[in-house]
């Protein structure tokens, strides 16, 4: 047992933290200003500051860490973990800069493992190069999409084409014009058994019949840097059959395969979210005075600081453990990831909330990242399966050991 970071980890964490602290965080207000200055018809274009940061990330070797070789660096989960955490300190701008937005990473890994050579050439390569982006169209309005049974978008074969009809929303990233395609989960065999009902299809964002009806604000945030969260109607959208990813009716297992790496990535990022909020709190309470003492001398504020530090450190250990299991294909991976899924979003939300309280009105207003950090953490209590689903999954696996 050895808890020291490996040389690879140590090098990467140093590079990533420096990049995030020295380049990305100072660029946040620049991004906000650039976004605010865009005319409405260009409001989802890629920001100049993002291109500058991407160049720096490439120079520092922080590009495509999670993307399999030969398209990316193909690092293991544990080696890349500290970078994922560091990027969580600026959870929209840093992943965008490092080409590690969750949806893109998941899509690239999926195409690397299951895409045809043509798909890899047409979609994976430009994604890995950063010339395009992608989005996952999974969630649907009106139902609990964490239960795949509830997915109602239909896809059928017609000659050499696949035809899709349905309604997706919370398709993160799809508002942006540089999002070239969507990976759409659709029902191809409604009567089949649970795991053989769905197919996964690449749908170009400009396909006829695909209509982006609006952006969904997330707790009031438009999230322009990551391309928003699109509400999308698919009305008899036709794509070549070659756009099928993996097997016909085999979409469910592909989607599942995406999930644990995505949850791990998000769990790590949430540790970074919490560290950012912790920084803001710990700095602030040194200076803000109430009742004749700086806040940092008040017992209740120290309690926030102490609990936050403990909870962050515990969540990081859960995440590193999950990464370690994942690298070994250990059968405990799923449980470890579920544990992380239960802990990390709630922990990050709690730390952000304490930080807001410590900052007072400043903390709930537009002048710090706390509102965006809060929205990000809050969404992740729902995304990739609500916490409760994972909590009960942990419980059921435990109970099986005793029956």
* Of residues 114-173, those binding a copy of itself (CB under 8 A): 139, 141-147, 150, 169-170
Asked whether position 300 contacts a copy of itself by CB under 8 A, the answer is yes
27 lies in the binding site for a copy of itself (CB under 8 A): no
The binding track of 39-78 with respect to a copy of itself, each residue x by CB under 8 A or -, is ---------------------------------------x
If binding is defined by CB under 8 A, does position 213 make contact with a copy of itself?
no
Distance CA 161, CA 153 (A): 16
- Round to whole Å and give the CA distance between 20 and 10: 15
The Cα 220–Cα 395 span in angstroms is 34
From the list 12-20, 37-45, 261-269, 379-387, the region that binds a copy of itself by CB under 8 A is 379-387
CA dist 281 and 81 (Å) reads 24
Question: How would you classify the pairing of strands 179-187 and 133-137?
Answer: parallel
Q: What is the DSSP string of 342-393?
A: HHHHHHHHHHHHHHHHHHTHHHHSTTSSHHHHHHHHHHTTTTTS-HHHHHHH
Q: Which is nearer to a copy of itself, 208 or 360 (CB)?
A: 360
CB closer to a copy of itself, 8 vs 116: 8
Question: Which range touches a copy of itself (CB under 8 A), out of 54-62, 174-182, 210-218, 254-262?
Answer: 210-218
Q: Establish if 7 lies at the interface with a copy of itself (CB under 8 A).
A: no
* Residue 11 within binding range of a copy of itself, rule CB under 8 A: no
* Closest approach of a copy of itself to the CB of residue 193, in Å: 14
- Structure tokens of 15? 């590079």
Could you say whether residue 33 binds a copy of itself (CB under 8 A)?
no
Q: How far is the CB of 227 from a copy of itself (least distance, A)?
A: 16
Stretch that binds a copy of itself, among 27-35, 52-60, 173-181, 373-381 (CB under 8 A): 373-381
Q: How far is the CB of 272 from a copy of itself (least distance, A)?
A: 17
Query: Interface with a copy of itself includes 13 (CB under 8 A)?
Result: no
Does 193 bind a copy of itself (CB under 8 A)? Our answer is no
Main-chain dihedrals φ then ψ at residue 208, nearest 5 degrees? -60, 140
Residues from 337 through 356 that contact a copy of itself (CB under 8 A): 339, 342-343, 356
Q: Which of 285, 334, 348, 351 binds a copy of itself (CB under 8 A)?
A: 285
Of 154 and 357, which CB lies nearer to a copy of itself in the complex structure?
A: 357
Question: Mapping DSSP to helix (H, G, I), strand (E, B) and coil, where does residue 297 land?
Answer: helix
**DSSP H helical ranges for 20-143:** 25-37, 48-59, 77-87, 93-97, 102-114, 117-119, 125-129
Tokens of 262: 């995505």
* By CB under 8 A, residue 25 contacts a copy of itself: no
Identify which range of 37-45, 100-108, 198-206, 291-299 contacts a copy of itself by CB under 8 A: 291-299
Residue 72 contacts residue 111 (beta carbons within 8 Å): no
CB of 365: closest distance to a copy of itself in angstroms?
A: 5
The C-alpha atoms of residue 65 and residue 97 are separated, in whole angstroms, by 12
Q: How far apart are CA 52 and CA 205, in angstroms?
A: 25
Contact indicator for 197, 177 with CB cutoff of 8 Å: no
- Least distance (Å) from a copy of itself to the CB of residue 242? 31
Least distance CB 351 / a copy of itself (angstroms):
12
**CA distances, 47 to each of 21, 37, 110, 293, 400 (Å):** 19, 10, 27, 43, 51
Q: Are the C-beta atoms of residues 107 and 134 closer than 8 Å to each other?
A: yes
**Interface positions, 316-335, toward a copy of itself (CB under 8 A):** 317-318, 320-321, 324
Exactly one of 113, 192, 242, 310 binds a copy of itself (CB under 8 A); that residue is 310
Q: Which of 211, 242, 275 is nearest to 13 (CA)?
A: 275
């Amino acid at each position: 047992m050895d808890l020291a970071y490996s040389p690879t980890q140590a090098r990467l964490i140093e590079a990533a933290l420096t990049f995030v602290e020295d380049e990305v965080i100072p660029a946040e207000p620049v991004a906000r200003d650039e976004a605010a200055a865009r005319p409405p018809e260009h409001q989802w274009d890629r920001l100049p500051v993002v291109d500058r940061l991407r160049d720096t990330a490439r120079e520092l070797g922080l590009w495509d860490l999670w993307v399999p070789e030969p398209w990316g660096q193909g690092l293991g989960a544990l080696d890349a973990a500290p970078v994922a955490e560091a990027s969580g300190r600026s959870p929209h701008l840093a992943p965008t800069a490092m080409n590690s937005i969750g949806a893109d990473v998941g899509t690239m890994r999926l195409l690397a493992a299951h895409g045809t050579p043509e798909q890899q050439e047409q979609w994976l390569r430009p994604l890995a190069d950063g010339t395009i982006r992608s989005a996952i169209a999974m969630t649907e309005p009106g139902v609990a999409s964490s239960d795949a049974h509830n997915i109602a978008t239909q896809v059928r074969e017609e000659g050499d084409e696949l035809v899709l009809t349905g309604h997706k929303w919370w398709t993160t990233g799809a508002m942006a014009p540089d999002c070239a395609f969507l990976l759409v989960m659709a029902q191809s065999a409604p009567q089949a058994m649970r795991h053989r009902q769905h197919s996964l299809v690449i749908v170009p964002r400009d396909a006829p019949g695909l209509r982006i009806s609006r952006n969904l604000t997330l707790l009031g945030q438009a999230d322009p840097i990551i391309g928003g969260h699109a509400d999308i109607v698919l009305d008899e959208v036709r794509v070549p059959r070659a756009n099928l990813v993996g097997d016909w009716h085999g979409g469910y297992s592909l989607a599942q395969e995406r999930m644990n790496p995505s949850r791990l990535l998000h769990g790590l990022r949430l540790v970074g979210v919490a560290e950012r909020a912790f920084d803001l709190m710990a700095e602030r309470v040194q200076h803000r005075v109430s009742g004749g003492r700086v806040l940092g001398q008040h017992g209740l504020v120290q309690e926030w600081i102490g609990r936050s530090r403990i909870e962050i450190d515990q969540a990081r250990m859960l995440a590193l453990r999950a990464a370690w299991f994942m690298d070994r294909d250990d059968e405990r991976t799923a449980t470890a990831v579920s544990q992380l899924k239960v802990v990390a979003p709630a922990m990050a939300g709690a730390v952000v909330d304490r930080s807001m309280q410590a900052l007072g009105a400043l903390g709930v207003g537009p002048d710090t990242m706390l509102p965006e950090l809060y929205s990000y953490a809050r969404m992740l209590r729902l995304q990739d399966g609500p916490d409760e689903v994972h909590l009960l999954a942990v419980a059921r696996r435990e109970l099986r050991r005793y029956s």
